[in-house]
Amino acid sequence: MKKDILAVFGIVLILAVLINGTHIQSVDEYYLTHIDDITPESETVTLSIRCDAVLQHYDELDPALRSEEFVPPDGVILPPTKYVLREGDTVFQILDRAVRSNRIQMEFQGAEENPFGSVYIQGIHYLYEFSCGPLSGWMYRVDGEFPHYGCSRYKLHDGQNIEWIYTCDLGQDAGALWMGGEE
């Protein structure tokens, strides 16, 4: 009997930890993010999200995504927009704020699940890794350079320009040469 009570107690404890660790938000609550107003003295960065490469590799795209709703005809998911930089903001935090305020769908792998200890962006605007051929996925570029580490480790400074680019061949079409590109 004693052992049973102990077992029940253990199960209740595990459940309590699980419930404590989950955080449920309604749809409106989630998208309701506060975007700071730009004032003359605030530090800002520019963010854009593009998927031009998909338009060139349209035949490789997942048939379920072949519509203007999911792939904009000009390849622009988010035009260059200025966002206020908060203290210690990383590329991931700016992206997260931007997609929430624009109601753009995004899925990511958390830093604690990732072998590189950084957030990995799996999909933005229903465009996922491998949606357009086996070498496709999301990459980011800051001031024209592709950093060699994850987006939640990149601390931003005033005036930087962040571009999220969808690639169909490991970054060569976007101009990242360090993944085995030539020239």
Please report, as ranges, the residues that interact with other proteins according to CB under 8 A.
1, 3-4, 6-7, 21-27, 29-30, 62-65, 70, 105, 107, 123, 126, 128
The angle formed by the CA atoms of residues 83, 86 and 91, to the nearest 5 degrees, is 65
Do residues 104 and 93 lie in contact, with contact meaning Cβ atoms separated by under 8 Å? no
The burial of 155, by beta-carbon neighbours within 10 Å (0-12 exposed, 13-18 middle, 19 or more buried), is given as exposed
Between CA 126 and CA 52 the distance in angstroms is: 15
Give whichever of 43 and 62 is closer to other proteins, judged by the CB atom: 62
Between CA 113 and CA 93 the distance in angstroms is: 17
Q: Shortest gap between Cβ of 15 and other proteins (angstroms)?
A: 16
Q: Shortest gap between Cβ of 41 and other proteins (angstroms)?
A: 31
Q: Shortest gap between Cβ of 80 and other proteins (angstroms)?
A: 25
Q: Shortest gap between Cβ of 176 and other proteins (angstroms)?
A: 25
Give whichever of 55 and 65 is closer to other proteins, judged by the CB atom: 65
